[in-house]
A and B are shown apart, each in its own frame.
Chain A
Amino acid sequence: MKRTSPILRLFFLCLCVVLFSGWSGSWDTLQEESEKLISVSARFTQLKDTRILARPLVSTGRFYFKAPDSVRWEYEAPVQSILLMNEGSVRRYTQGAKGLTEDASAALQSMNVMLREIVLWSRGRFNESTTFTAELKPGPETVILLTPRDKGLEKVITSIEVELVPDKPGVISKVTIGEGAGGVTVLRFSDVVINAPLSDSVFRRP
């Protein structure tokens, strides 16, 4: 099980990094705007498509972030699950046959290591990442393309595309994660609220 950790760690890294960043279309303003980000809450719809599915598998949930390093990534359907990152610890709770239970896998324990990098990125320091290269795609929409630096990671995730809401710095509308061989995960965000007060209890054990 210990071998799970790098993969899941990097995958969560991919998911979180694009949500933590306040990006307004210019590298120069990235860090400045990220520093202004105190909290984020949003609904998300996740569509997973891969060769074994006839149509995308739809999951829905809520996302919360509070600076400097608290995250709640909550799936409401089809499987209820809550991933909490708070005060340096990472825990996951999943609704299963035995009720809402804590996932005790080594993968989640090791996610503590990941936090340091997430915090770095939440400060808008994409260029300092040793995991992905970031590129601003030309066009009318603000789209950022993240590409793994490591060939090993490229076998897991080929690319991440982040689409921002026009004229709303820091608000993400869509994230597309490519896995190669036709596998793709699309996250669409709605009801995004920036810098509203968020209670600490949101990031505590349910």
Chain B
Amino acid sequence: MSQGQVGAEQRLVTPGMAVGPSAGKRAGSGIIAAEDSFVATQLGWLRERNNTVSVDPINAAYMPRSGDLVVGIVAEVRNNLWFMNINGSFQGLLPMSLAPWKVEFGAARQHMDVGDVVLARVQEVDECHNVVLTMKGVGLRRLNQGAVESIPVQHIDRVRGENNSLLQRMRDACDCRMMVGENGRVWIDGSPEGISWARSALQRLVSEGHTKAFETILSEMEEKSKGDA
């Protein structure tokens, strides 16, 4: 996804719209080739990079991919596994063998119950959208404190910025720990004021993000904070 895109400079395409000839170019996501031209299949901003034409969707569902870091919420507990709501079409499955603890059969609920929030990684996704999660890995854990804010998945790259630059700037500005899950959930932990600041920044991204770069939103909020101080 493009960084800091500004609506006025981009071309908005709708499903079925012809977006140009296909000669010498490759069709990326959100594009199909029809005879000798490309046709958009999703509502979004047209992008051409490395000879590949694609659509940055304005709205999109989270499609899990192997290796994704996600913020999950326990939705269901069985004797030997947990079902996690990972903000996707399907629940993710976390078997006790991939939990970070030694779990006895039937004792899964003692470690995590419905409503608990975890940081997990997608271990495997098969062609039928069965998702297996793992909590074995550095930093993967149950999140006992802090707040979770949801943002549209297509804005995740924009929150992070180049080499996580914007995310780090946000962390510094609000003095909070922040983790961005690929599934559109952001975990924020720090002082109540810091969490509130970060939430406002993310909410502004959701409401104004399609017309304004996230960097601009952050600058405006930083200016406002200085003014208030």
A binds B: no
